[in-house]
Amino acid sequence: MLSYPDYTSCPVNIISSILSYYRVPVNYPTLPQLDAELKKFYKNVVLIVLDGMGTHMMERNLPVSDFLRRHHIGDLTSVFPSTTVSAMTSYYTGVSPKEHGWLGWSLFFKEFCRTIDVFTNLDTYTKLPVTKSNAAEFVLPYETVYKNIADSIIGNVQPFTIAQTGVNIAENGNIHKVADKFERACDIVKMICDTKQNTFTFLQWGSPDDTAHREGCYSEKTAEKLKFLSTQIGALCASLTDTLVIVSADHGLIDISEEIKINHIPEIADCLVIPPFVESRAAACYVKHDRRTDFERAFHNYLGSDFILLSRNDILSKGILGKGEPHPKTIDFIGDYMICAIGDKNLKYQTLNEKPKQLNKANHGGFTDEEMIIPLIVIPTRQTAAYKPKKLL
């Protein structure tokens, strides 16, 4: 089954509900089921985003009695492409990929005439550093939601962010903490929530995505990782008071059966101006102007059963990347076409200077339910008499 992004029910809307709770104006709808819980008023709001924990993966690996599944109140879609860069940047900013422009892991920047892995600032093919400072942040700067929360009319709300060591999270009104283990991250959340100050905490964690890429979505190790994360979150919530904990994901994953090398299909490769980029399951292509008909024909002959082909106009007119004004770089990053996965295969263009890389057993970026559907998990904690919520202005 396929699912397309719903920008009334996706990560952007989680952030809209949180911003609305702190009386920050929003441009996207809020989530009624989340708003209903937030109306009870909490001193602390904690948002935990587990990388790659799609609903399909969660439900197939965890029993119905599991802590996370017991508090699973509904499903959302990811943004598109259904991948970490686009979805996490939507969490950071509260806007769609169309507006922030961070569409995927590898983007071609004409400013540097290179394809760059945006989170690591490495050349996609040589894996060498591109610039001393982050090239993507220089070309695609953005404002986070943290400063808006800190500066809201509510007053006295301190935003915190927590992530693994080496994960770059923009700091703008937030206090950033790092943790090498998930247990330590939960300990930091506990310490933050135990202060007297009103707080919003955003915890980003790179699991179960890291395990599923290596082992597959439904492997024993992936199931163990999910059970571990659920147990830790359950213990954390049991230790908190006056706190609403929200758990979701950036995307899900699907097990991969095959990797198709585009450079081995001359009927397609000869039509391209540069190698495809963005993601292996959502690939942007620049096509020679006089070869577009040939390209479309070759796509349908070789890839049409596992992918769909969307033109730039299709993507923009259908709202695949969201609403609002497109970031100037978004148009660059769409290319002339995007090849989007609807099956269980990856695309790859293997250049002569590329370092060998092992095929992931599971991946994401496409339109399948496994990749696109993510859970909304809401866990209220006990509200104490010591905390007497006041009606917000």
Domains (ranges, CATH) in the chain? 11-102+142-254+371-380 (3.40.720.10), 255-363 (3.30.1360.180)
Strand partners, 337: 285, 311
Residue 155 has pLDDT above 80, yes or no: no
Whole-prediction pTM: 0.95
pLDDT averaged over every residue in the chain: 95
Q: Where are the beta strands (DSSP E) in the chain?
A: 44-50, 72-77, 106-109, 114-117, 122-123, 157-164, 175-179, 198-205, 243-248, 254-255, 258-261, 277-279, 282-285, 307-311, 337-341, 345-348, 362-363, 373-380
Residues in the chain: 393
Structure confidence by residue, pLDDT tens digits, 195-248? 999 999 999 999 999 999 999 999 999 999 999 999 999 999 999 999 999 999
**Strand, coil or helix: 278:** strand
Contact 149, 138 (CB under 8 A): no
Task: Return the pLDDT at 393.
Answer: 43
Task: For residue 222, give both structure tokens.
Answer: 């992936």
Structure confidence by residue, pLDDT tens digits, 182-205? 999 999 999 999 999 999 999 999
Question: Residue 390's pLDDT band (boundaries 50, 70, 90)?
Answer: low
DSSP state of 241: B
Measure the N-to-C terminal CA separation of the chain; round to a whole number of Å.
44
Task: For residue 23, give both structure tokens.
Answer: 């009386």
The verdict on whether omega for the bond into residue 276 sits within 30 degrees of 0, i.e. cis, is no
